[in-house]
Chain A
Amino acid sequence: MSNTQSLPLAVSDLTVAYHRKPVLWDIEFTVPSGELVGIVGPNGAGKSTLIKAVMDLLPRSSGRIEVFGEPFRRQRHRVGYVPQRESVDWDFPVTALDVVAMGLYRQIGWLRRVRAEHHQRALQAMDRVGIADFAHRQISQLSGGQQQRTFLARALVQDADLYLMDEPFAAVDAATERAIVEVLREMKRAGKTVLVVHHDLQTVAEYFDSVLLLNLRVVAYGPTAQVFHNENLQKTYGGRLTLLDEAAEAMRRRGQSR
């Protein structure tokens, strides 16, 4: 089977543990090409852990992960990663353009400098998310949303086929949210596959084709219209009352919109 026909992501029997305490338990799912998948679950459900495990950033106790039919390390050039914004120190002495160009470092190679053509490509990616005007700002002078878009542009510039995004919508302004949603739709049109860790239940149905409800294990996975319902959300969020209310509200709204 050639790579292009293989599934972008196939996870089977995945278990990850910290200090012998399992944080992901027997995860199994596959993602078909061109899907926008939301990963939803309460805090500590293992959402970030899941996408980190996919990229071999964490040791796994068991399980097999295939990216386009091969181990991740062979296909990493086809995977773009958007980490959580808080994961880095934004006071670092680089410009937004420098950060976006980091997505090209592998292509540029050791010893060589970032050249004009690379800056050009980085600027194009920044333009797609609407922050080209801030290219030469030091990154601490960007707003939170602009920082998030900088990370998104860094992943875009790689021109990957599978994107893994960790809470890109967390604490961003409306303009950023619109820009990210627009990019997600563009990606889908271009046949890219995107997994997004998402916390806002209100927008799940609007943004994603399918949804993976996660709480240590996969509670439910499938087309959003079929699995994103009250019963599954209750299973996912357990006894957390406030979140249940939120979920119920989301369901109500979804019912109204039909």
Chain B
Amino acid sequence: MNLWTVIANANDITVWQSLYRIVSLQDYNTRVVLLGTGLLGTLAGLVGSFALLRKRALLGDALSHATLPGIALAFLLANAWGFHEKSLGILLVGAAISGILGTVTILLIRRYTRLYEDTAMGIVLSVFFGLGVVLLGLVQQTPGGNAAGLETFIYGRAASISQADVQLIAVVGLVAAALVSLGFKELTLLCFDETYAATRGYRVWLLDLSLMTLMVLVTIVGLQSVGLILMIALLVIPPAAARFWTDRLPVMVFLAMVFGATSCLLGAIASGLYPRLPSGAMMVLAAAGCFGVSLLFGYRRGIVWDFAQQLQYRFRTDRQHLLRALFEQLEIRDRDDSEKFATTTDIPESDLLAMRSWSSTQLRRSAWHAAQAGLVVASPPNQWRLTISGYHAARKLVHDHRLLELYLIRHADIAPSRVDQDADAIEHWLEPAMIAELEAEMSSTISQQKLPASPHPVVPTITPGDDALRNRNNHGQH
């Protein structure tokens, strides 16, 4: 997202040209970088999903920070022993060893002291990182140390990815895919209920070790392009974003992989356009974009979805109130309950307003919605009448409402004067199966064809001003 605003502001044709150059994969180097980062993002999404569900995400953060002293030490040792000091393999091995050391330290502190895990993580993360910074200072003073570019491990530089790195990422990816497909069920069980897993004979430490190994591997191969400070973001944000879209674990893992890959690709493209922008940070911002969209628009758990659900429920409730009010007003005028009478009689707004405490704006809005749905017809000025389908819908609503009222009076011992509100609070939630149950329950007291009479006066006798009081009494009763 950030990328696009940069491009828009740049107002520079060469940006478009270089963007085209990148996405059309013209350069060999671009292909390598995009392939590498894309694979990395996919991998991070896969492993991160389980890390997140195992609630080990922050352990990944401590782990990646703890790699720094290993990188610097490996460089110093390689230098002293006369190896080619820029050999990436040696540095990554150093990173892995000190990362694991840091993690083990956390686990040991938790096991043998009474400190909590977050305390242990705080200590290890900062101490290892501090040590790394000190060692990096030493590296700067060694001959050739300045040019070694070890700082890229801190912030990450996607452009430095070589073909060998892509191969490394691909190998790690294969290992991860193999481990996860071997034990998808088992990892799920571990994350959900480790105690139960232990009673069934799974070695929880072994499963945890596999997961930790995967986290170490992903972190190590991600150091170069994402950097150790921000690696955690790639493990956490894509799965967290994916969770907004689904309640199924396999779907969540798949989405996390897609989001991870997308974020990495966008970040790499952005830093390809503007080499001064650190790629790791751009990837994190892109991931944050994915997260923001998911948070808002995620199907089922997103904020907008949630809001839409509430709104829909309110519309439905309002419409049911309107239909019931119309029907009960018709009942006052014609006790025979005939379809012909109902669909030819206009009800003025003033009569409807007396039925319950609602404003005329509210009433008109729900009337407009009901008219859209073909349930009522407006006949000016300010009168409405039911259509044929509206009549049948309203009759059913009134029927269910009265059934529920009678049920409540008989079984819940609620006074007839109060039962209207209590039934109203429940009835919008009733599913067809529950209504059927209700009908079976009450079949002895009511006839099938005729509508049961209302157990209370249809038009409330109290003025709208008393409504607050009525509500309070009603609540007190629950």
- A137-178 residues with Cβ-Cβ distance < 8 A to B are 138, 154
Q: How far is the CB of A57 from chain B (nearest CB, A)?
A: 6
Name A112's closest neighbour in chain B (CB-CB): B185
Q: Which of B192, B200, B201 contacts A94 (CB 8 A)?
A: B192
Q: Which residues of A contact B191 (CB under 8 A)?
A: 92
Q: Which residues of A contact B246 (CB under 8 A)?
A: 93
**CB <8 Å contact, A114 and B247:** no
CA distance A94 to B188 in the complex (A): 9
Chain B, Cβ-Cβ closest to A114: B185
Question: Which residues of chain A have a CB within 8 Å of any CB of chain B?
Answer: 52, 55, 57, 73, 76, 79, 81, 83, 87-89, 92-95, 98-99, 102, 105-106, 108, 110-111, 113-114, 138, 154
Interface footprint category on B: 20 to 34
Q: Name A87's closest neighbour in chain B (CB-CB).
A: B195
A76 in contact with B247 given A83-B193, A102-B192, A111-B181 (CB within 8 Å): no
Q: How far is the CA of A79 from the CA of B199 in the complex (A)?
A: 9
Q: Which residues of A contact B252 (CB under 8 A)?
A: 93
Complex CA gap A26/B188 in Å reads: 37
User: In terms of DSSP, what is the predominant structure of the interface of chain A?
Assistant: mixed
Determine the distance from Cα of A83 to Cα of B198 in the docked complex, in whole angstroms: 12
Alpha-carbon separation in the docked complex, A87 to B192 (Å): 10
Contact A102 B196 (CB under 8 A): yes
A106 and B201 in contact, given A93-B249, A99-B192, A114-B185 (Cβ under 8 angstroms): yes
Given known contacts A83-B193, A94-B188, is B247 in contact with A138 (CB within 8 Å)?
A: yes
CA of A95 to CA of B250 in the docked complex: distance in angstroms? 12
Give me the interface of B with A, judged by CB distance under 8 Å. Answer: 53, 181-183, 185-186, 188-189, 191-193, 195-196, 198-201, 243, 246-249, 252
A83 near B196 (CB under 8 angstroms)?
A: yes
Q: Inside 8 A of A95's CB, which chain B residues have their CB?
A: 247-248
The residue on A at minimum CB distance from B249 is A93
Contacts A83-B195, A95-B247 aside, 7 further interface pairs with beta carbons under 8 A come to A76-B200, A88-B192, A93-B249, A102-B185, A102-B188, A102-B192, A106-B200
**13 A-B pairs with C-beta separation under 8 A:** A52-B195, A55-B199, A57-B199, A83-B196, A92-B192, A93-B249, A94-B248, A95-B247, A95-B248, A98-B188, A102-B192, A106-B201, A113-B185
A139 nearest CB across to chain B (Å): 9
Q: How far is the CB of B207 from chain A (nearest CB, A)?
A: 11
A111 in contact with B201 given A93-B248, A102-B192, A102-B193 (CB within 8 Å)? no
The answer to whether B185 and A108 have CB atoms under 8 Å apart is yes
